Amino acid sequence: MSKAPDQPKVAGLNDLLAVAYQIEIDAVERYNLLADQMETHNNPELVRVFRDLARAEGIHGEEIRRLAGDFDVAAHARKIARFGRADSPEEAALSDAHYLMTPWHALQLSLAGEKRALAYFTSIVGTAKDAKVKAMAAELVEEEAEHVNLVYRLLRRYPAPTESWAEDMDPPVSQE
């Protein structure tokens, strides 16, 4: 196996900001990819949902870039923010996509991502030795907790679909 670590090493504040930035950028890329897939498969409601999620993550990324001030957080992220085997925490699972998925499914993907990010920054709060890193990670934990709550609030608008959500009267699979 390759020797790449499963999580990037966060040795200082700049590393933390770079990793946080990369997490948001990866999420943007993933949501846009899912939106493109839904566009191809003519699911316009999901195109809107995924584009909105991408936009929201992009705003978070920009906030982190502002926090970093003159430091080139994007360049540093390219150098250090690699997540080994796993996806980066907020990347929605591509393998869970379905051409007939509903906004509820999209939000479930988003919720799982936000929870992974929350767990990731919580673990940094728990292990960081540098006081500045610990404090910034605690701020990021608060933000991610707010994002988790936001997704829960959105889910109230989109209840779980019926069991037949994946039934297609004209399926692409003709093996029956």
Looking at residues 153 to 172 of the shown chain, list those that interact with other proteins (rule: CB under 8 A): 172
CA 70 to chain centre: 25
Of the pair 77, 136, the CB lying nearest other proteins is at: 77
State the minimum distance, in angstroms, from the CB of residue 57 to other proteins: 16
Give residues 68-97 in contact with other proteins (rule: CB under 8 A).
75, 78, 82-87, 93-97
User: What span, in angstroms and rounded, lies between the C-alpha atoms of 112 and 13?
Assistant: 26
How many residues lie near other proteins (CB under 8 A)?
Answer: 33
Indicate which single residue of 36, 45, 72, 146 sits in contact with other proteins (rule: CB under 8 A).
36
The 3-state secondary structure of 42-63 reads CCHHHHHHHHHHHHHHHHHHHH
Which one among 42, 162, 164, 175 touches other proteins, defined by CB under 8 A?
175
Binders of other proteins in range 136-155 (CB under 8 A): none
Cβ contact 73:17 at 8 Å = yes
Classify residue 1 by its DSSP letter.
Answer: -
* N-term to C-term CA, the chain: 42
Asked whether position 104 contacts other proteins by CB under 8 A, the answer is no
The distance of Cα 161 from the centroid of its chain, to the nearest Å, equals 23
Q: Could you list the residues that contact other proteins (CB under 8 A)?
A: 1-2, 4, 29, 33-34, 36-41, 75, 78, 82-87, 93-99, 101, 172-176
